[in-house]
Amino acid sequence: MRLLLRFNGLRNAAIGGADSERWLCSPSSSKKLGFRCIVTSCRAVLLPRFGGPEVLELRDDANVPDLKPNEVLVRARAVSVNPLDTSMRSGYGRSLFEPLLPLILGRDVSGEVAAIGASVRSLSVGQEVFGALHPTAVRGTYTDYAILSEDELTAKPVSISHVEASAIPFAALTAWRALKSTARITQGQRVLVVGGGGAVGFAAIQLAVAAECHVSTTCGSESIDRAMAAGAEQAVDYTTQDIESALKGQFDAVLDTIGVLETERTGINLLRRGGHYMTLQGEAASLTDRYGLAVGLPIASAILLKKQIQYRYSHGIEYWWTYMRADAEGLAQIRRLSEVGKLKIPVEKTFPITHVREAHEAKDKRRIPGKVVLELD
């Protein structure tokens, strides 16, 4: 049974649920928060230490903190597995995350609003929503009750399921950040997506097509038909063809989701002067992991600046490390495109959240090439 109540501080809240997720809202000791959510037992996949899939622990006593005024409590129905989840589990970002263990993995979520903070205006309790957390969030989405800020969520398109919706936001917002916020692509421009077979690359193809750009991509042979069906004008198989000679002409923007030396060299050579090269493999996290935050961050900034100056001088292009970031306007456009079927990320396989270790192992061992989603019910 679920009961809806209205409070002053926490504007709406649902009370009830199964024994494993019983919770209620009560006045908080903090006047600022107004009300406090007390969750007696909420399932979550905890990461107590870095390692292989076996370190993941599904617990039913994870803490749900008080909602801040701009935050939303989401009853998660589906969460997708991103490469960031498996690499964080293995220790990527340890300079930032190690002191904060145990943490909850997961960035993407699709579910229903269970409660909202005092200043939330755009969402209401019971509404179906989807969205994604920032890459550095410590309390992730592999849990029955995820907490995101209002600008990290939007209404879920009614035309797609929670499983389909959960596959989209983190990847699509990363592509949005590169193409729209950094390169500011416009109608008629030529865009190259290196790695159009992956989730970010495929989202990038669809966003650039929706912006009426001419899109080329590199991907494996199995992804070529899908890239062309999504509107790419040229899809080059990186396993059998020489990319630079196959892709003629000059591009206004190159999004490199692979970001190895060879793709960086090729991408930069294919840009026109003034064009933007954006790699998803920025070195900030790996350098801070190696040297610590205090030394690693300045080294990363210096390396980025050196590359930016070097490429501006040698090729006349703009060089960027791209990182996913919440963007309410981007998420709204992603929702609109998903609603009408112009932005999809195919889901290869789903696992119940109880099989999270199996899902991570399958991704680690590359047994499943496409998107994997964890279901919570």
Which parts of this chain interact with ligand NAP (CB under 6 A)? 82-84, 135, 171, 174, 194-195, 197-201, 218-220, 222-223, 238, 257-258, 263, 280, 322-324, 369
CB of 211 to ligand NAP, least distance (A): 19
Distance CA 150, CA 298 (A): 32
For residues 71 and 264, which CB has a smaller minimum distance to ligand NAP in the complex? 264
In the chain, the amino acid numbered 306 is K
**Which residue number, 126 or 346, has a Cβ lying nearer to ligand NAP?**
346
Total Cβ atoms within 10 A of residue 131: 34
How far apart are the C-alpha atoms of 209 and 207, rounded to whole Å?
A: 5
Q: Which is nearer to ligand NAP, 39 or 347 (CB)?
A: 347
Interatomic CA distance for residues 72 and 212, integer angstroms: 35
Judge whether 166 and 80 are in contact, CB under 8 Å. Answer: yes
Both tokens of residue 178? 């590169």
Least Å from the CB of residue 144 to ligand NAP: 24
Q: From CA 278, how far away is CA 280, in angstroms rounded?
A: 7
* Residue (101 or 260) nearer to ligand NAP, CB: 260
- Rounded to the nearest whole angstrom, what is the least distance from the CB of residue 86 to ligand NAP in the complex? 9
Instruction: Judge whether 252 and 191 are in contact, CB under 8 Å.
Output: yes
- The answer to whether the bond into 169 is cis (omega within 30° of 0) is no
Q: How many CB atoms lie within 10 A of CB 226?
A: 18
Q: Are 20 and 38 in contact (CB under 8 A)?
A: no
Q: Partners of 271 in the beta sheet? A: 251
| Shorter beta-carbon distance to ligand NAP: residue 160 or 255 | 255
Minimum distance from CB of 139 to ligand NAP (Å)?
18
Task: Output 115 or 192, the one with its CB closest to ligand NAP.
Answer: 192
Distance CA 264, CA 168 (A): 26
User: Quick one: 67 or 254, whose CB is closer to ligand NAP?
Assistant: 254
Name the residue among 318, 312, 373 with its Cα closest to residue 346: 373
Q: Which amino acid is at 79?
A: V
Q: In the bound complex, what is the minimum distance in angstroms from residue 350's beta carbon to ligand NAP? A: 16
- CB nearer ligand NAP, residue 210 or residue 284: 284
Determine the Cα–Cα distance for residues 310 and 318; give it in Å rounded to an integer.
10
Q: How far is the CB of 316 from ligand NAP (least distance, A)?
A: 25
What the block records as the tokens of 322 is 């791209």
How near is the Cβ of 72 to ligand NAP at its closest, in Å?
A: 22
Q: To the nearest whole angstrom, how small is the minimum distance from the Cβ of residue 341 to ligand NAP?
A: 20
